[in-house]
Amino acid sequence: MNLSIVGSGYVGTTIAACFADLGHDVTAIDIDETVVSKLNDGVAPIHEPGLADLVKTHAGTSLRATTDYSAVRETDVTFLALTTPSNPDGSIDLSIMKAGTRSLGDALADKDDYHLVVVKSTVTPGTTGDVIRPLLEEASGKVAGEDFGVAMNPEFLREGSAVTDFLNPDKLVFGAEAARDYDLLEALYQPLIDRTDAPVVKTGLREAEMIKYANNAFLAAKISLINELGNICKAYDVDAYEVADAIGLDERIGPHFLRSGVGWGGSCFPKDVAALIAAARDTGYEPQLLQAAVDVNDRQPGRMLSLLDDHVDVSGKRVAVLGLAFKPGTDDIRESRAIPTIEGLLDRGATVVAYDPVATDNMRARFPDIEYASSAAAALAGAHGALVVTDWDEFAALDLEFDAMETPVVIDGRRIVSTREGITYEGLTW
């Protein structure tokens, strides 16, 4: 099939390259000329494992890019994969989405045959049907349900494994309103369905929109729940990881997302949970449990700092922060738990020396005045304490490096360091 994808960010580029790999003819549309020429040159504009190879393989044949929306007229389906940033109150800002939708509608005005517009971006319930559809009708002068259809197809891609997640989905969710639109989505995903046997959930537009939020809210709340249980474990000198392993054997609970520690960050969980809370409040419903999940998450870095306070008065002393990325395998520091951790150390008057294998440059833009070490060993040398924020594999191998600390106090927020005699070691929840 011929499809177009509006927006070449992390989601748009990943799905563009993956759909090309599934055998479709894909046109990526973006207003950024640099992104467009990179894609046409076979260079991925973002870093995701496996993406560079896919872009290189398909650019110029089944994958091309343009800034010109009129290219959508040569395609049967258009995905909207534009960013939905947060407003200060946590609700989503639809201005970029609306601008892209208008341009798409303008371009569709001159298209003769049926077109399907699929919302890929994360949007709150009602957005596709009540905002995107009328905007498309207005800009194109066409009638929804007759000349074009709208659908909602959320993504569940993790940073660092977006390509594998796309190609091996747990489920495919098709929100639509008409049989012909479900059929078009199915035809598009058929090569993947044949290959993976992924279950297809056919549902309404609002349900599809909500499934995405519910998925992320559930996972974020699951981590906050294990963190709360972990905090209680710590108070009773109980190892939360042994508890998690045992409860994870209950099929109803499952073993995943039970790693307690300093909490969740990234570009999705914090933003999506905040947007769902704002959307709920908009209707007059107060989402207590989701708010509590956020509150528990916000408290975890402070708990790590107070464990350090129990052993060292850090004022005027050098403290190492190991790990700056919000999770291993990425240089993304958005909502990383390292940010409140560093802020807490600075408030205490500590001299912060931070280390991350890949995220240092990004954190330097956020905290230009702290020290950045080129290795974990260099960060630890002479430090009076160390806080472990990201579970990078290399931290598991640290050993003699702790002997170079002034006082070897290690507070582990991710259960990654191997402790031994001679180290004052505290796990956050064990």
Active site residues: 268
Q: Contacts with ligand UDX in 274-333 (CB under 6 A)? A: 326-327
Asked if 334 interacts with ligand UDX (CB under 6 A), we say no
Among 98, 102, 202, 259, binds ligand UDX (CB under 6 A): 259
CB-nearer residue toward ligand UDX: 257 or 425: 257
Binding-site string for ligand UDX from residue 376 to residue 405, where x marks contact by CB under 6 A and - marks none: ------------------------------
Binding window for ligand UDX (CB under 6 A); candidates: 100-108, 166-174, 183-191, 261-269: 261-269
Binding window for ligand UDX (CB under 6 A); candidates: 29-37, 198-206, 258-266, 355-363: 258-266
Asked if 413 interacts with ligand UDX (CB under 6 A), we say no
Instruction: Name the residue number minimizing CB distance to ligand UDX.
Output: 268
CB-nearer residue toward ligand UDX: 145 or 329: 329
The CB-of-297 to ligand UDX minimum distance in angstroms stands at 9
Asked if 341 interacts with ligand UDX (CB under 6 A), we say no
Among 47, 56, 73, 158, binds ligand UDX (CB under 6 A): 158
The CB-of-173 to ligand UDX minimum distance in angstroms stands at 12
Among 29, 268, 398, 409, binds ligand UDX (CB under 6 A): 268
CB-nearer residue toward ligand UDX: 217 or 350: 217
The CB-of-64 to ligand UDX minimum distance in angstroms stands at 26
Among 21, 48, 159, 209, binds ligand UDX (CB under 6 A): 159
Binding-site string for ligand UDX from residue 199 to residue 238, where x marks contact by CB under 6 A and - marks none: -----------------x--x---x---------------
SS (H, E, C) the chain: CEEEEECCCHHHHHHHHHHHHCCCEEEEECCCHHHHHHHHCCCCCCCCCCHHHHHHHHECCCEEEECCHHHHHHCCEEEECCCCCECCCCCECCHHHHHHHHHHHHHHCCCCCCEEEEECCCCCCCHHHHHHHHHHHHHHCCCECCCEEEEECCCCCCCCCHHHHHHCCCCEEEECCCHHHHHHHHHHHHHHHHHHCCCEEEECHHHHHHHHHHHHHHHHHHHHHHHHHHHHHHHCCCCHHHHHHHHCCCCCCCCCCCCCCCCCCCCCHHHHHHHHHHHHHHCCCCCHHHHHHHHHHHHHHHHHHHHHHCCCCCCCCEEEEECCCCCCCCCCCCCCCHHHHHHHHHHCCCEEEEECCCCHHHHHHHCCCCEECCCHHHHHCCCCEEEECCCCHHHHHCCHHHHHCCCCEEEECCCCCCCCCCCEEEECCC
Instruction: Point out which residues bind ligand UDX (CB under 6 A).
Output: 155-159, 216, 219, 223, 257-259, 261, 263-266, 268-269, 326-327
